[in-house]
Amino acid sequence: MRAGEFSKRRQRLLAMLDADSIAILPAAPARTRSRDVEHPYRPDSDFYYLSGFPEPEAIAVLVPGRRQGQFILFCRERDPEMETWNGRRAGLAGAVERYGADDAFPIADVDDILPGLMENKERVYYSMGTHPELDQRMIEWLNRVRQKARAGIHAPGEFISLDHLLHEMRLIKSAAEIQAMKKAAKVSAAAHCRAMQACRPGMMEYQLEAELLHHFMVNGCRHPAYPAIVGGGENGCILHYTENESELNDGDLLLIDAGGEYDNYAADITRTFPVNGTFTAAQKALYEVVLKAQYAAIEQVQPGKHWNAPHLAAVKALTKGLIKLGILKGTPAKLVKEEAYRRFYMHRTGHWLGMDVHDVGDYKVDGQWRELEPGMVLTVEPGLYIPAGSKGVAKKWWGMGIRIEDDVRVTRTGHEVLSSGVPKEVDAIEALMAGETQRRRRPVA
């Protein structure tokens, strides 16, 4: 993403901040995986959204109306020896030249400089509780300013979370963000195709996870947006199954929920398909109930419709389908009202999608479901889960976990499915998997 994109975001936010205020956003800390090994570093989404700065140990400060410049970045200084061991740093000059900071100061000096920037401000925009390691220091900085009262210096009296303003901005995606999300969705859809083509009975779930991760990384999605769920048979009924270490059985369905992250934007796609490439009659019947529900829900993704409209459409369609298959008994209206579907469909039909998989943004405004607007991106992901032993349900449905999830952008006239690069119709899935019969016949190594 170009530097201009971040600068535009800062200008928009600065215009919304009160004149006598200061906004403080810390970078995410590096996190330990074990002993002295760290997890791959992932910037804090809010911090990165405004700064584009990819390093830890940094704090972004916005000061509306500051004469010497409104964007200040505290970051690590260049250090040839540290950089030899741990990688390059932008340093103070880089923060100004490459990341558009008006001023850059060493992070080591933040305790001396930041209280001065807070002097004579009325309010501080800072999200308490998100970075506990910084909350305590924030109080110390505030007390430093309070101690100067006798010198006629006024300390801020209000702390306000920046979340509301910033997350409303993040909810409506810019053209550049949509480009990044399209790339994440395109690569992820192709990764799902690759997994379908590689799948055959006897493989391990993690071997398909490897196919997905390989495709993500080769195509510039350096990390999965969340741990991939690769659940064969019964495992598909565990919503957040991530062990991925069972063998895939002939005759079972396989549920894969996986998405890559591109330039810190997520894709989130689920497909469910038969391990051996051909749906049984029962699998096809249940699958088509979910598919119909998903189409009905996607149809509701239009500007002016409210957030809950896709979910309502999905639960209606799922309930009707379950009645038709004899899994639920009663009238659709009554069963929907009683939420009888919840036994088999216990999650909601989607969530906002963006830099975070479960992205930020309110779902209700003034107590009412909010209206969909162009630029919002959401997932549509109905499912049905019938684990073995489900009482009162015919055995032929047991062991099926089905979810179909796409990433959908609200446009001015309706919607666009960003993840359409992987098939979801029964025939199309079977055709894609059959195209690889030669490979699938090969014995497992």
Q: How far apart, in whole angstroms, are the C-alpha atoms of residue 424 and residue 430?
A: 10
- Whether 403 sits among the annotated catalytic residues: the reply is yes
Candidates 33, 150, 240, 441; catalytic one: 240
DSSP string, 59-122: EEEE-TT-TT-SEEEEEPPP-HHHHHHH----HHHHHHHTT--SEEEEGGGHHHHHHHHHTT-S
- Whether 215 sits among the annotated catalytic residues: the reply is no
CB 55 within 8 A of CB 87: no
Please report how close the Cβ of residue 377 comes to Mn ion at its closest, in angstroms.
Answer: 11
- Whether 164 sits among the annotated catalytic residues: the reply is no
Candidates 76, 170, 403, 409; catalytic one: 403
Cβ distance to ligand GLY smaller for residue 263 or 405 = 405
When asked if residue 257 is in the footprint of Mn ion (CB under 5 A), the reply is yes
392-411 residues near Mn ion, rule: CB under 5 A: 405
- Whether 240 sits among the annotated catalytic residues: the reply is yes
Choose among 187, 207, 233, 232: nearest CA to 440: 207
Please report how close the Cβ of residue 169 comes to ligand GLY at its closest, in angstroms.
Answer: 22
Q: Which does 262 bind (CB under 5 to 8 A by kind): ligand GLY, Mn ion, none?
A: none
Alpha helices in 22-65 (DSSP H): 45-51
Q: Is 255 helix (H, G, I), strand (E, B) or coil?
A: strand
When asked if residue 261 is in the footprint of Mn ion (CB under 5 A), the reply is no
Candidates 351, 406, 415, 430; catalytic one: 351
Candidates 205, 209, 356, 405; catalytic one: 405
Cβ distance to Mn ion smaller for residue 145 or 410 = 410
Contact residues toward ligand GLY (CB under 6 A) are: 226, 257, 268, 351, 357, 381, 405
Q: Residue 230: how many CA atoms within 13 Å on its side-chain side? A: 26
Please report how close the Cβ of residue 288 comes to Mn ion at its closest, in angstroms.
Answer: 20
Candidates 358, 363, 373, 425; catalytic one: 358
- Whether 347 sits among the annotated catalytic residues: the reply is yes
93 Ramachandran zone, left/alpha/beta (phi>0; psi -120 to 50): alpha
Choose among 217, 261, 254, 250: nearest CA to 233: 254
Q: Of residues 261, 268, 356, 359, which one binds Mn ion by CB under 5 A? A: 268
Q: Is 23 helix (H, G, I), strand (E, B) or coil?
A: strand
CB 212 within 8 A of CB 194: yes
Please report how close the Cβ of residue 381 comes to ligand GLY at its closest, in angstroms.
Answer: 6
- Whether 287 sits among the annotated catalytic residues: the reply is no
Instruction: Tell me the β-bridge partners of 124.
Output: 22, 159
- Whether 356 sits among the annotated catalytic residues: the reply is no
Take residue 343 and report the two structure tokens written for it: 């036994």
- Whether 405 sits among the annotated catalytic residues: the reply is yes
Contacting range for Mn ion; rule: CB under 5 A; set: 10-18, 231-239, 254-262, 296-304:
254-262
Choose among 187, 290, 196: nearest CA to 248: 196
Cβ distance to ligand GLY smaller for residue 261 or 381 = 381
Please report how close the Cβ of residue 380 comes to Mn ion at its closest, in angstroms.
Answer: 9
Cβ distance to ligand GLY smaller for residue 44 or 356 = 356
Cβ distance to ligand GLY smaller for residue 75 or 258 = 258
Cβ distance to ligand GLY smaller for residue 6 or 226 = 226
Contacting range for Mn ion; rule: CB under 5 A; set: 159-167, 234-242, 264-272, 327-335:
264-272
CB 30 within 8 A of CB 41: yes
Q: Of residues 379, 404, 423, 424, which one binds Mn ion by CB under 5 A? A: 379
Pairing assessment for the beta strands 260-262 and 223-224 based on DSSP bridges = antiparallel
Q: Which residues are catalytic?
A: 36, 240, 257, 268, 347, 351, 358, 381, 385, 403, 405
